[in-house]
Amino acid sequence: MSGTSTNGRSKSLSINRDAQVMIDQARAEGIATVWDRLADQQPQCGYCALGLSCRNCAMGPCRIDPFGEGPQRGVCGADADVIVARNLGRTIAAGSSSHSDHGRDILEAFGQLARGETTGYRIVDEEKLRRIAGEVGVTTDGRTVEEVAIDLADVLQEDYGTRRGSLSFTARAPGARRDKWEAAGITPRGIDRENVEMLHRTHMGVDNDYVNTLLHALRTGLSDGWGGSMIATELSDVMFGTPTPVMSEVNLGVLKTDQVNIAMHGHNPLLSDVICAAAQDPDLVELAQSVGAKGINVVGLCCTGNEMLMRRGVPIAGNHLMQELVLITGALEAMVVDYQCIMPSIVDVAKCYHTKIISTSDKAKFTGATHISFDPGHAAEVAERIVRTAIEAYPDRNHGRVRIPGQPVKMMGGFSVEAILGALGGTPKPLVDAIAAGSIRGAVAVVGCNNPKLPQDLEHIELTRRLIENDILVLVTGCAAVANGKSGHMVPEASAMAGPGLRAVCEALGIPPVLHVGSCVDNSRIMVLVAALADYLGVDIDQLPVAGAAPEWYSEKAVAIGAYVVASGITTVLGVQPPVFGSPHVVDLLANGLEGVVGATFVVEPDPAKAALFIRRHIETKRQGLGLPFVEPDTMRIDDNDSAPMVLIGAAVEG
Ligand code: SF4
Ligand code: MSK
């Protein structure tokens, strides 16, 4: 189908040809997708877009007039600052809770595994288990792996509701960083505690000082990045293996016309890992063959896809905006979902085909879907039942309707911190040396989602391309990773796209200039890596020549990530405007004031060229601070329109 032409509308919605073909197909078949629904929602509420609406109590809902002519206070008296700050705090709590509850699910299954109460799981990385256990004070010498695991599970459970002063993994942050957190009163204490306190503070009549509210919002984010997400990542590595570089493939071309296709969508590897194992069960493969298929093809979507790709090299069909389009291929027998980023609409789209939507989490049911409750205590049995259900759908496939556009693109994943340091010989020294010599000028984490308000993947790809061209190493997670995979940025040969310094380093190590670090929760790996670099140099994280970017973010989780990344000392550029512009004071705090508190700020810049220029200047400034050779950005390779003024939310970041 690669020769199929696409129309102008679909080209304006996504830069990916497979997506364009399917968007056209959806329209031809009268199937509504996310882009149609976004159009139906226009105009979207301006008060909400500015963060100026509040429905926190039944005296409201209230809104503040941004033009100063209408009401400037809600019924309770809350002004724009209070309302915007409360809304942002609640958003961060929702995102942080999502990651942390995912981490809790893994932690509980890990505890069950340790006690011998699961099927389908084992401790895959015992070395990492013992290392983490030792780190948090669990005795490891002379003890069985199960004994160590039980104690580790107990210690980490405590982090959810601890009455200690700080979370276990905050000890990984440089001392200077922890001092800044203490000074600002934002050291995260218990994961659940910070989230509950955020909801408490934003109840009517509690925290009515926007600075105080936003500082706690940072603490709530830190409880995610150095708590829930980090627990999720570390224990997933222990249970499913610490990723090492692995080749895989990406885009809708990973589907097979002659096999039972199962797409795993959501976030938690507890489910996807056992489904991958079940799909290789000879009895189930034989069952698939008995209904006319050649085999069973498991593919990923969104972050559960990243989890499978990182550890097993399982191909990934796409990122966030592909979840409806993959159904429209007509080639899926089942989409198996757990939670987060799963559009309710998939049930309606699947009804147009033979595809089963199988929900699995009792906390994430979808009306109209087939629910098969997932229980780690019977993981292998549940996985078998799910795969069997998918196979049974195959005879209902209308082969004449199947349309799989394009060929898959090769991509490399598997860059855990252990793998990155391993490639460097076990220490950060070669990376630090390369940065000091200027062959690598710095590093940027490009993370986050797709958002239908932007052409799919365009911002991710344009920003990343400009960064690597300028010798800036890029680390990617989540949907940003999938976007870069589709664009061909994530194979060793892509080093040809990089500037001369970065290219030489990548060629010497045989790695791409864009490293796949994992799923959304795996942004915690980036925290571990920057902490290791800072410790090696004897500096704080905010002194490193690094930055963050979320060019196409949409989710509350992305806001929580932004909060902990900035609170950890990494200035972060958002490509989509957050709903804070109704309060100039809140904007000033986020864009300027945080510099004096955590040494980093938020920036909003939707133009990837301008975002790249800002980041480049930021990195050069940080290099200068470390006494490293400074290169005036104007002498670096700059595209024509890079010199235009940036649209930023704070004067401090104006170049
Ligand atoms: Fe209105 Fe205040 Fe209630 Fe919000 S908390 S809905 S601003 S009265
Ligand atoms: S899946 S949070 S759309 S990255 Fe993690 Fe992608 Fe964003 Fe979901």
Q: What is the pLDDT of residue 646?
A: 40
Q: Of the ligands numbered here, which is closest to the C-alpha atom of 481?
A: 2
pLDDT confidence tier of residue 631, bands split at 50, 70 and 90: confident
Same domain? For 391 and 522 the reply is no
Q: What is the pLDDT of residue 218?
A: 98
Same domain? For 542 and 579 the reply is yes
Task: Look at strands 409-413 and 246-250 and give their pairing.
Answer: antiparallel
At how many degrees (to 10) do helices 302-312 and 229-240 cross?
40
State the closest ligand 2 atom to the C-alpha of 341, by its place in the atom list counted from 1: 8
C-alpha radius of gyration, the chain, whole number: 24
Residue 470 has pLDDT above 70, yes or no: yes
Q: What is the pTM of this model?
A: 0.96
Could you give the percent of the chain with pLDDT greater than 70?
95
Q: How many domains does the chain have?
A: 3
Angstrom distance (rounded) from CA 625 to CA 618: 11
User: Does 609 contact ligand 1 (Cβ within 6 A)?
Assistant: no
Among 152, 110, 170, 168, residue whose Cα is nearest residue 528: 170
Cβ atoms of 254 and 301 closer than 8 Å? no
- In Å, what is the CA distance from 446 to each residue of 219, 473, 516, 612? 22, 10, 10, 11
The sign of the dihedral angle between the CA atoms of 202, 522, 511, 493 is negative
Chain segment 204-255, per-residue pLDDT in tens: 999 999 999 999 999 999 999 999 999 999 999 999 999 999 999 999 999 9
Decide if 352 is inside a domain.
yes
Q: What is the pLDDT of residue 392?
A: 98
Nearest protein CA to atom 3 of ligand 1, as residue: 57
Q: What is the pLDDT of residue 424?
A: 86
Same domain? For 225 and 283 the reply is no
Same domain? For 161 and 227 the reply is yes
Tell which one of 48, 59, 84 to mutate to probe ligand 1, the residue whose CB is within 8 A of the most ligand atoms: 59
Of 185, 215, 240, which residue is a domain's last? 240
Q: Of the ligands numbered here, which is closest to the C-alpha atom of 557?
A: 2
Angstrom distance (rounded) from CA 389 to CA 359: 12
Distance of CA 3 to the CA centre of its chain: 33
pLDDT confidence tier of residue 313, bands split at 50, 70 and 90: very high
Decide if 45 is inside a domain.
no
Decide if 15 is inside a domain.
no
Residue 654 has pLDDT above 80, yes or no: no
Same domain? For 366 and 432 the reply is no
Q: What is the pLDDT of residue 655?
A: 29
Cβ atoms of 104 and 134 closer than 8 Å? no
Residue 635 has pLDDT above 80, yes or no: no
Residue 176 has pLDDT above 80, yes or no: yes
State both tokens at 579.
């709903």
Q: What is the pLDDT of residue 8?
A: 85
Overall average pLDDT of the 77-83 stretch: 98
Cβ atoms of 559 and 520 closer than 8 Å? no
Mean pLDDT over the full length of the chain: 94
Nearest protein CA to atom 8 of ligand 2, as residue: 341
Spatial strand order of the sheet with 472-477 comes to 514-518, 472-477, 442-446, 546-550, 572-574, 602-604
Same domain? For 346 and 324 the reply is yes
Distance 36 CA to ligand 1 centre (A): 33
Tell which one of 320, 453, 484, 522 to mutate to probe ligand 2, the residue whose CB is within 8 A of the most ligand atoms: 320
Chain segment 476-519, per-residue pLDDT in tens: 999 999 999 999 999 999 999 999 999 999 999 999 999 999 99
Angstrom distance (rounded) from CA 416 to CA 402: 37
User: Does 204 contact ligand 1 (Cβ within 6 A)?
Assistant: yes
User: Does 205 contact ligand 1 (Cβ within 6 A)?
Assistant: no
Decide if 58 is inside a domain.
no
Could you give the percent of the chain with pLDDT greater than 90?
93
Distance 267 CA to ligand 1 centre (A): 34
Residue 641 has pLDDT above 70, yes or no: no
Decide if 73 is inside a domain.
no
Q: What is the pLDDT of residue 629?
A: 79
Of 401, 432, 459, which residue is a domain's last? 401
Hey, what long-range contacts does 282-289 have (CB within 8 A, 24 or more apart)? 284/384, 284/387, 284/388, 284/391, 287/388, 287/391, 288/259, 288/260, 288/391, 288/394
User: Does 449 contact ligand 2 (Cβ within 6 A)?
Assistant: yes
Q: What is the pLDDT of residue 182?
A: 98
CATH of the domain at 233: 1.20.1270.30
Same domain? For 461 and 587 the reply is yes
Chain segment 590-618, per-residue pLDDT in tens: 999 999 999 999 999 999 999 999 999 99
User: Does 452 contact ligand 2 (Cβ within 6 A)?
Assistant: no
Q: Dump the DSSP string for 88-112.
A: HHHHHHHHHHHHHHHHHHHHHHHHH
Cβ atoms of 65 and 53 closer than 8 Å? no
Instruction: Please indicate whether residue 211 or residue 161 has the higher confidence score (pLDDT).
Output: 211
Decide if 7 is inside a domain.
no
Task: Look at strands 62-63 and 53-54 and give their pairing.
Answer: antiparallel
pLDDT confidence tier of residue 1, bands split at 50, 70 and 90: very low
Same domain? For 344 and 262 the reply is yes
Angstrom distance (rounded) from CA 319 to CA 326: 10
Hunting for tokens 């981490």 — which residue is that? 103
Same domain? For 395 and 447 the reply is no
pLDDT confidence tier of residue 361, bands split at 50, 70 and 90: very high
Instruction: Please indicate whether residue 391 or residue 650 has the higher confidence score (pLDDT).
Output: 391
Angstrom distance (rounded) from CA 484 to CA 457: 8
User: Does 62 contact ligand 1 (Cβ within 6 A)?
Assistant: yes
Angstrom distance (rounded) from CA 615 to CA 467: 8
Rounded to the nearest 5°, which phi and psi values hold at 345? Answer: -65, -20
Decide if 533 is inside a domain.
yes
Angstrom distance (rounded) from CA 344 to CA 367: 8
Cβ atoms of 583 and 84 closer than 8 Å? yes
Overall average pLDDT of the 396-405 stretch: 97
Coil, strand or helix at 332: coil
Tell which one of 236, 520, 559, 565 to mutate to probe ligand 2, the residue whose CB is within 8 A of the most ligand atoms: 520
Give residue 136's domain range.
82-240
Q: What is the pLDDT of residue 639?
A: 52
Q: Of the ligands numbered here, which is closest to the C-alpha atom of 460?
A: 2
- In Å, what is the CA distance from 562 to each residue of 45, 445, 465, 601? 24, 11, 22, 10
Residues near 22 by Cβ (< 8 Å), separated by ≥ 6? 252, 325, 326, 328, 329, 403, 405
Angstrom distance (rounded) from CA 562 to CA 560: 5
Amino acid at 181: W
Chain segment 314-360, per-residue pLDDT in tens: 999 999 999 999 999 999 999 999 999 999 999 999 999 999 999 99
Same domain? For 320 and 235 the reply is no
pLDDT confidence tier of residue 643, bands split at 50, 70 and 90: very low
Distance 76 CA to ligand 2 centre (A): 36
Nearest protein CA to atom 2 of ligand 1, as residue: 76
Chain segment 16-57, per-residue pLDDT in tens: 999 999 999 999 999 999 999 999 999 999 999 999 999 999
Rounded to the nearest 5°, which phi and psi values hold at 274? Answer: -75, -30
Q: Dump the DSSP string for 459-510.
A: HHHHHHHHHHHTTEEEEEEHHHHHHHHHTT-SSGGGGGGS-HHHHHHHHHHT
State the closest ligand 2 atom to the C-alpha of 558, by its place in the atom list counted from 1: 2
Distance 318 CA to ligand 2 centre (A): 11
